[in-house]
C-alpha cells in the first residue's frame, strides 16, 4: 500500500472540503448581518458556497471542482477513467440521511405523554403526511402539464417536490437517482438535489418574512434561549461514565453504525425475497434504519430492566450531536453535488415547483396551526413550515427565534410525530415507483389519500358540526 498515492487521500480531501465549506459559512454568518438575520442553516450556506466555487472552477479551469482527480478516480460504464468526486458526494448524502435518522431514533423519551399531548403529537404527524400529499399532488400537476407542453420533462418528476421539501436532500436525491436509473429521467439526481436546495431557501425566506410580519404587528414573543447547558442536559443519572473503558461518544457512534449494518442486512434480505423491488427497498434505508435503531434500543432497555445491563449506554445529548453532524454533512454534500450545467432544460419547472411548494406549505400549515394548535399557533406553524420545506433542524432553527427555551411543546411534537407520520406515510411512499409509470393515476390516488388524511386531521371540527346540524 502506497500511502503517498493521491488515490488513498481522495475521501479525506472530499470530507475536508465539505467541513471547510461549513466553517467558511459559519464565519460568514457571524460577520455579515444580512446572513445572520436570514436564518439560512449553516450547512445550506456551506453547500451553496462550495457549489459556487465549483462552478467558478468550471469557468476558469474547464472542469468543476469535484471533477478533479484529487477526489479519487474510477472507471465509468464505458471503462473510461473519471473522477469519483460527484459520485462520492451522492454516496455521502445517501448514507448520512439514514445515519442521522438512526441517531435521532436512539434518543430516549424523557417525558410521559398525556392523552391531550398524544392527540397533539398525532395531529402533528398527520399534518406532516398531509403536507407531503399536497406537495406531491401539486408537484405532479405541474410536471404532468409541463410534460404535455415541453419535450424532455419527466411527468412524474413533480413527486420529488414532497421529497425535496418534505423529506430533505437524501430522499430527493435517492428517488431522483432511481427515476434516472430505472425510468430514464435524464439528470434525475441533480433535479432532486436542486429541489431540496430550493426547499431550504424557501424555508429561510418564508420564515424570515413571517417573523418580520410578527415583529411589525408586535406579536413576536421575546423568549430567547438561555446560554450554556446544565449538567443534567449533558449526562443523566445511571449512564456510563463520560470517559470509561470506551469514550461515551464512541459508544454512541458504535450503536449507530451497528444499527446501520443491521439495516443493510434487513434490506439485503428483503431484496433477495423481492428482487424486483431492490431499488425501492434500498431507497428506504432511512426508514429501515429507524426500525433497526428502535429494535436495538428496545433490547437495551429490556436488558437494563432485567438488571443484565447495569448502566444506560445511550446519551441523548451526544446522540443529538452525532445525528446533527450527519444531517449537516448530508445537506452540504447534497447541495455541493448539484450540477447546474445539467439542469438547463429544467429551470422553469424547478422555479414553478419551488413557488408552488412554498405557497402551499405556508398556507396549509398556517390554517392547521390556527385551527388545531391555538395555544401555541405561531410556534407550531414556524416549526412545521421549516421542517416541511427543509428538515427538522430547519424547523428547530425557526422555532428557536420565538421559543428559545422550548416553553411550548412544539419541539416534542416534532420529535414524537415521526411514528404516526411513518405509519401513514409509508403506503404513500410505496407509490413512488408506480408514479413513474402512471403519474396521472398516482396523482388521483394521492388526492384521495389527501382527503382521507384531512378528515382524520380535522375530525373534531367535522363531526362536531354534524352533531350540531342534527
* Bigger pLDDT: 34 vs 329: 329
Which band of pLDDT confidence, cut at 50, 70 and 90, is reported for residue 149?
A: very high
Is the per-residue pLDDT at 136 higher than 60? yes
Longest pairwise C-alpha distance within the chain: 83
Confidence of residue 114 (pLDDT cuts 50, 70, 90): confident
Write the CA distances from 5 to 63, 104, 121, 342, integer angstroms: 22, 38, 53, 32
Q: What are the distances in angstroms from CA 39 to CA 23, 106, 273?
A: 16, 28, 46
Mean pLDDT estimate for the chain: 87
CA angle at 87 for the pair 82 and 91, rounded to the nearest 5°:
155
Average pLDDT over residues 336-359: 91
Encode pLDDT of 197-235 as tens digits.
Answer: 999 889 888 888 888 888 888 777 655 554 444 444 566
pLDDT at 138 over 80: yes
Q: What is the pLDDT of residue 442?
A: 95
CA distances from 254 to 103, 243, 246, 250 (A): 11, 15, 10, 6
Mean per-residue pLDDT, 431-455: 95
Residue 301, class by beta-carbon neighbours within 10 Å (0-12 exposed, 13-18 middle, 19+ buried)? middle
More confident call, 230 vs 372: 372
Query: Is the CA virtual torsion 188, 190, 196, 198 positive or negative?
Result: negative
Q: What is the pLDDT of residues 70-107, one digit of tens each?
A: 888 776 666 666 778 998 999 999 999 899 889 988 98
Q: Which of 86-90, 270-274, 322-326, 464-468 has the lowest mean pLDDT?
A: 464-468
* pTM metric for this prediction: 0.81
pLDDT for 344 beyond 70: yes
pLDDT level of residue 367 (50, 70, 90 thresholds): very high
Model confidence pLDDT, tens digit, residues 26-44: 999 999 988 887 778 888 8
pLDDT at 124: 94
- Enclosing H/E stretch for 122: helix 115-149
Amino acid at each position: 500500500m502506497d500511502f503517498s498515492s493521491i488515490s488513498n487521500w481522495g475521501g479525506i480531501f472530499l470530507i475536508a472540503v465539505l467541513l471547510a465549506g461549513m466553517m467558511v459559512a459559519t464565519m460568514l454568518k457571524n460577520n455579515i448581518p444580512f446572513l445572520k438575520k436570514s436564518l439560512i442553516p449553516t450547512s445550506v450556506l456551506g453547500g451553496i458556497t462550495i457549489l459556487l466555487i465549483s462552478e467558478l472552477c468550471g469557468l476558469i479551469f474547464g472542469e468543476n471542482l469535484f471533477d478533479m482527480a484529487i477526489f479519487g478516480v474510477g472507471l465509468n460504464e464505458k471503462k473510461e477513467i473519471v473522477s469519483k468526486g460527484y459520485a462520492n458526494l451522492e454516496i455521502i448524502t445517501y448514507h448520512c440521511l439514514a445515519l442521522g435518522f438512526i441517531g435521532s431514533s436512539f434518543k430516549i423519551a424523557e417525558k410521559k405523554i398525556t392523552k391531550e399531548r398524544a392527540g397533539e403529537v398525532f395531529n402533528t404527524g398527520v399534518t406532516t403526511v398531509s403536507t407531503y400529499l399536497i406537495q406531491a399532488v401539486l408537484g405532479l400537476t405541474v410536471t404532468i402539464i409541463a410534460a404535455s407542453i415541453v419535450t424532455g420533462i419527466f411527468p412524474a418528476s413533480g413527486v420529488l417536490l414532497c421529497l425535496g421539501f418534505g423529506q430533505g436532500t437524501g430522499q430527493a436525491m435517492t428517488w431522483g437517482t432511481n427515476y434516472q436509473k430505472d425510468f430514464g429521467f435524464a439528470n434525475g439526481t441533480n433535479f432532486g438535489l436542486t429541489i431540496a436546495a430550493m426547499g431550504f431557501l424557501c424555508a429561510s425566506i418564508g420564515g424570515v418574512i413571517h417573523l418580520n410580519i410578527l415583529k411589525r404587528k408586535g406579536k413576536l414573543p421575546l423568549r430567547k434561549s438561555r446560554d450554556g447547558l446544565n449538567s443534567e442536559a449533558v449526562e443523566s443519572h445511571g449512564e456510563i461514565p463520560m470517559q470509561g473503558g470506551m469514550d461515551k461518544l464512541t459508544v454512541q457512534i458504535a450503536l449507530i453504525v451497528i444499527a446501520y449494518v443491521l439495516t443493510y442486512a434487513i434490506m439485503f434480505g428483503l431484496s433477495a425475497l423481492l428482487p424486483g423491488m431492490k431499488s425501492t427497498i434500498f431507497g428506504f434505508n432511512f426508514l429501515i434504519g429507524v426500525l433497526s435503531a428502535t429494535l436495538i434500543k428496545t433490547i437495551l432497555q429490556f436488558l437494563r430492566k432485567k438488571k443484565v445491563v447495569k448502566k444506560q449506554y445511550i446519551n441523548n445529548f451526544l446522540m443529538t450531536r452525532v445525528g446533527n453532524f450527519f444531517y449537516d454533512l448530508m445537506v452540504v454534500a447534497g447541495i455541493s453535488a448539484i450540477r447546474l450545467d445539467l439542469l438547463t432544460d429544467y429551470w422553469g419547472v424547478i422555479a414553478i415547483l419551488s413557488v408552488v411548494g412554498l405557497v402551499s406549505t405556508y398556507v396549509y400549515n398556517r390554517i392547521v396551526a390556527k385551527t388545531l394548535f391555538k395555544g401555541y399557533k405561531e410556534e407550531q406553524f414556524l416549526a412545521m413550515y421549516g421542517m416541511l420545506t427543509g428538515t427538522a433542524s430547519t424547523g428547530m432553527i425557526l422555532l428557536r427565534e420565538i421559543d428559545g427555551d422550548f416553553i411550548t411543546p412544539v419541539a416534542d411534537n416534532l420529535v414524537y410525530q415521526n411514528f404516526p407520520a411513518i405509519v401513514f406515510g409509508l403506503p404513500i411512499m410505496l407509490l413512488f415507483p408506480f408514479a413513474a409509470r402512471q403519474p396521472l393515476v398516482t396523482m388521483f390516488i394521492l388526492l384521495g389519500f389527501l382527503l382521507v388524511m384531512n378528515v382524520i386531521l380535522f375530525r373534531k371540527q367535522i363531526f362536531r358540526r354534524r352533531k350540531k346540524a342534527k
